[in-house]
Structure 1
């Protein structure tokens, strides 16, 4: 599944992700994945100028969420005050995903969150 800033907003990204994950056969929690997508896309909207692209896919090793945007500046953990509205998203992403990576691409950066497949018992 691929969604871009040209054809969707944050709410549409959440809804499409929920639908995709629910029917994908992935073992990751739909709620966890949707919250991670919400945080990553929101960060792309708030902290970059230009486009963003969301790609959610099931691979042999699990579920992968890529959010690409037009900035080369990596996400950073902030310490919000107790009454602050923002500043918690990057910590949420790191807590909910099994693995998080950030790497440069040709037009900015990609933030990748992934969840592995559970092993058969």
Structure 2
């Protein structure tokens, strides 16, 4: 079992164009990382969280974002840093017209724990999953 954490960092371009290319790179890096270091993690759930965190960073900030993926022996941490000091805000979902409001609720539902931390240069949103003991293979 490898108890040392592994870290992968995916970064936006200086001025992300919002064309989805940053999100695609983040999803690709996340998939490769999970397959190698955390095969126990729910890939679909983690990819949804990563996609939402990237989309929020692109949509609600005017600068850079940086994705960190860390795997411990029994944990997976997805941490998104961005240039905005404003924390995510849960909005009432728009059920009738495509106005959004689902993402932050989804992140909080899919991750085991979600924390928002202020940073000197912006903020960090951290989603953590802990491997369940039932039927899980050893090692991450």
Shared fold (TM-score, shorter chain, > 0.5): yes
Q: TM-score if structure 1 supplies the norm length? A: 0.92
Q: Which runs of 5+ in 1 are unaligned?
A: none
Structure whose CA Rg is larger:
2
CA contact (8 A) 1:70 1:107 kept: yes
Write the mapping of 1:12-91 to structure 2, written as runs, cut at 5 A: 12-82=25-95, 83-91=97-105
Q: TM-score if structure 2 supplies the norm length? A: 0.80
CA contact (8 A) 2:93 2:101 kept: yes
CA contact (8 A) 2:94 2:100 kept: no
Q: Which runs of 5+ in 2 are unaligned?
A: 1-7, 15-20, 136-140
Q: Equivalents in 1 of 2:104, 2:55: separation in Å?
A: 11
**TM-superposed deviation, 1:26:** 4.5
Give the count of matched residue pairs: 121
2:122 counterpart of 1:108 = yes
Consecutive aligned runs of 4 or more in structure 1 exceeding 6 Å deviation:
none
